[in-house]
Structure formats: structure tokens, C-alpha cells
Amino acid sequence: MFFLLVAALVLGPLSTRPARAQGVAQQQVDLSSAFNIVGIYTDGTPPVNGGLDGGGAAYSSIAMAATAPPTSGSIVGSTPSYPTLSLPQSPNTIVFNFGATNSPNAVSGCTPVSATCTVSAATGSISLPAGEFTVLELIGSGVQGGQSGTVTVGYTDGTSDNFTQGFSDWFSGGPYNTGEAIALAMPYRLSGGSIDNRTFRVYNYALALNAAKTVQSLTLPNNRDIVILAATVVAIPGYVTAGGPATPPAVSAGSSATAPVTVTSEAGYSGTVALGCAFSPPIPTNGATIAPTCTFSPTTVQVGVGAPGSSTLTFTPAKATSAAMVGPRTMFYAFWLPIPGLALLGFRLGSGSHRKKLLGLLLLGMLLAGLAVTPACVSTVHLGNVGTPPGQYTLSITGTDTTTGVTQFGSGGSVTVTVQ
């Protein structure tokens, strides 16, 4: 039978995980109600039931060694020590708690219950600490090859978020999946007292939660080959912006519409937020149009827990400054202007000459043909501008913390205004 010795910690920032901010609060999730396999053992203990991967006769398991070679980097007997694992992820440290060794201490969605799986995790959900959290952090791995499964987080309002996550194999590893990074790397495992010098791993997963809702439950993938060892929910303080309806909803150039704006604290945020906005569709900067103005009063708001900040957005489309339309079409008509005179002159001079009459008719025909094709061949050029073009505009509200630079959760609030 195979045993695996947990050794060196591999730490570092994860570019694919949600951004973190100062002042993070976190709570470790109690998975004990769902533990159904033994994945963590002390050195020298034979597997109780199939171990971490449940792979036939050659069971493999993580062994949290009571003793370890000095160079192994074992987390046992050091700081942090088992059963706590701390992963520094700049600028914060995420802490995970593991179950007791040599007894069910990992969750696998194995159905039905078998000799290698004592409880079915698929029959129910796991309770989460109540609160507003922004990230769910997991420690786990795929076994028997890379796996994919759905993690579901339920909220107290009856809604839920489903996350389809890839879980790399603990031995073969990458290519690694979005939101996944190595949490622990073991440089060898023990097989009947002999060292197997290949590398095995467990991974850290980060799933972005809806910070505006209170979490309630966690359901892990219904897949025996996805194993979860620990979970922590993290509250990254932040805020959301929202915009109310515009009054009036439609305005003409030079007039203004206003809308209320609210900035609400999430996950314990407190700070000062500077407001701004962006337009959709964008106004082209070609000199023929003028972008509308978007202002806030006040331009910054104080936001605290239970104390949202309020402001008023004012939207003003620009008037046209000059709409003279002189361009190739106008100049082309001007070019043809002398032709009627020439035609009439030809008739007058040719009153006694059949040949000159023909010349006059020819000039008149050229005039009519030119006038017919001119509109189809020549475009208008604006020498002035038309102000803000009419149409419907969406104003996206942006917020930036004036001290930390943290931006709002999500895409921000929006206001819709029609320019007549």
C-alpha cells in the first residue's frame, strides 16, 4: 500500500483568483458533517478505506507525518502545524483547518456508499458560516486523472451560484485550471517503506461569491475522483454602486436629466469613494459631435457598514455649435452651376445655326446627367458639429476608493437616458 508524505509548501500570488484587499475577514468551514473518506494519515498508518484516490488495491493517501526528514519541509511540528495550513496570498494569509488524522477527514462525492466511502456527500449540503463573503477558498485535488465538477453555493434569499471548476490530478498535474494553484507539493511518497520520488500535490481553489448576499450552504461535486480537504470563506471589504431612474427619462440637447446614485458597503467596507461615469455607445471624437457631460454632486461619498453614500448624477447632452454642411456635394453642384448659362448661351448664339443648337443641347444633357449621379457619388463633410447625437445612452457608474484605489464589485450601476 502507498503512503504520501506531505512536505514542502509552495506559495505565491495567484493571477487568476479574485483580487484581495486589506482588512480581510475569514472563517474556516466545518466540513466534518460531510467527511466520508480518510485522506490524511500519520506516518506508518495503513489506509482505513481506500485513501485519497481509492484506486483499487494500490491505495494512495496523504500522510501527515509525525516525524519527517529535516529537508522535507513537513508542516507537522512547525508553525503553522497540522491541522492548520496557512497560505500567504499577498497581501493576506488564508487559513485552512483539516480534520483529524486516521479517520474520515476529506469529502468526496461518492455515490453510492461503498467500502471506500462511508457517507455520500451528494445527499445533502454543508452549512456555511452566515455572512457576506466574497471568495470561497478550497483545498483539494482531482484523482485518477484531471476532473471537472460543479460547486454550488446557496444564499439565504433562496438563490445559488454554480461554479464549474477543473481539478488537476494530484500526480500528473497541469495544465492547471482557472482559479487553481498548488497549495502543497510533496516531493515523494512512501510505498511499503520505499521512497517514491515523484511529486504529488493538493491545490488551492478560489471561487468568487456574490458579496451582496449572505451565504448559507455549500454543495461539492458528485464525483468520487474530486476530493476536498478543507474550506474557508473570505470577506474582502468592498462596495457596490447603483443608479436610479433618470428624471426626465428623455432630454433635448442643452437640457439636463438627473438620477440618484447610491454606494453601499459590502463585507464590512468603510471608506471614501470617488464617482465617475462612462457612456455607451461611445461618442466618436471626430470633431463632428460633442460628448455629453456627466457630473456628480457630491463627487465623493463616505460609505460605511449600514451607512450607504448618496449622490446625484447630472447628464447634459451638448448643443450643436455650427451645422454648416459645405463639402464635396456642395462644391460639385457649384462646379455645375455655370453649365445652364452656357447651355442658354448656346441656344441664343445658335438661333441661326443648326450646329450651335446641337452644342447647346449637348451642354444641357451633360448638366442633367451630372446632377443625376452627383448625390450617389459624393458624401457630406461637416465643417461644424451636431452636438450630442440623438439616441439612447447608458451611463455606467464607476467608483474608486480614494485611499486604496479599490474599485466597486461588479460592473457598477447604470442609468439610461434618451437624447431627443
Q: What is the pLDDT of residues 267-316, one digit of tens each?
A: 788 899 999 999 889 887 677 788 888 999 999 999 998 899 999 999 99
Selecting from 3.40.50.970, 2.60.40.10, 3.40.50.300, 3.40.50.150, what CATH number does the domain 239-322+385-419 have? 2.60.40.10
Give 100-125 pLDDT, tens digit per residue: 877 788 888 876 666 656 665 555 68
**Confidence at residue 244, expressed as pLDDT on a 0 to 100 scale:** 93
Mean pLDDT of 18-39: 73
C-alpha 362/C-alpha 359 separation (Å) is: 5
**Confidence at residue 297, expressed as pLDDT on a 0 to 100 scale:** 96
pTM, full prediction = 0.62
Q: Is the pLDDT of residue 382 over 50?
A: no
Give 157-214 pLDDT, tens digit per residue: 999 999 999 999 988 877 688 888 888 776 555 454 455 667 778 889 999 998 888 9
CB contact set of 71 (below 8 Å; sequence gap of 6+) = none
369, with CB counted inside 10 A (0-12, 13-18, 19+), is exposed
* Of residues 68 and 220, more confidently modeled: 220
**Confidence at residue 3, expressed as pLDDT on a 0 to 100 scale:** 32
> With contact defined as beta carbons under 8 Å apart, do 234 and 135 qualify?
yes
**Confidence at residue 50, expressed as pLDDT on a 0 to 100 scale:** 58
Give 55-97 pLDDT, tens digit per residue: 544 444 554 443 333 333 333 333 334 566 777 665 578 888 8
> With contact defined as beta carbons under 8 Å apart, do 108 and 114 qualify?
no
C-alpha 355/C-alpha 343 separation (Å) is: 13
Give 299-358 pLDDT, tens digit per residue: 999 999 889 999 999 999 988 875 545 445 444 444 445 555 544 545 454 455 555 565
* Of residues 359 and 386, more confidently modeled: 386
**Confidence at residue 212, expressed as pLDDT on a 0 to 100 scale:** 81
> With contact defined as beta carbons under 8 Å apart, do 180 and 257 qualify?
no
* Of residues 175 and 259, more confidently modeled: 259
Terminal-residue alpha carbon distance, the chain: 78
- Phi, psi values for residue 311, rounded to 5°: -150, 170
Q: Is the pLDDT of residue 21 over 60?
A: no
Residue with cell 493571477: 15
Q: Is the pLDDT of residue 17 over 60?
A: no
Give 389-418 pLDDT, tens digit per residue: 899 999 999 999 999 888 888 778 899 999
